[in-house]
Amino acid sequence: MYRKLLLAVFAATALAAGVASPMLFAQSTTASLLGVVHDPSGSVVPSAVITATNTQTSFTRTTQTDSEGNYFLPNLPIDALWIDG
């Protein structure tokens, strides 16, 4: 009886470790930035240029807002960024 219980506990632990291990590797090394550009009156700004610059390495990524003022910068390195637009 004790042996069956021990085997069941071992199997449950192994199963839990197998299920949890992919989650350990699911940490991201990049970030995304999205937003909407508005002018002082509150209107959206189409075609505005948005630049994200890494303050440590000077790596720069640029995008332009769409017709509704939306922008999206994917796959940015996780670090201190200066956003200009």
List, for residues 16-73, the tens digit of each pLDDT value: 555 555 555 567 788 888 999 999 999 999 999 999 998 889 989 999 999 999 999 9
Domains in the chain (CATH in brackets) are: 2-84 (2.60.40)
What confidence tier does 83 reach under pLDDT thresholds 50, 70, 90? confident
Element (H, E) at 62: strand 60-64
Q: What is the pLDDT of residue 28?
A: 75
Dihedral of alpha carbons 42, 46, 47, 51, sign:
positive
Q: What is the pLDDT of residue 13?
A: 59
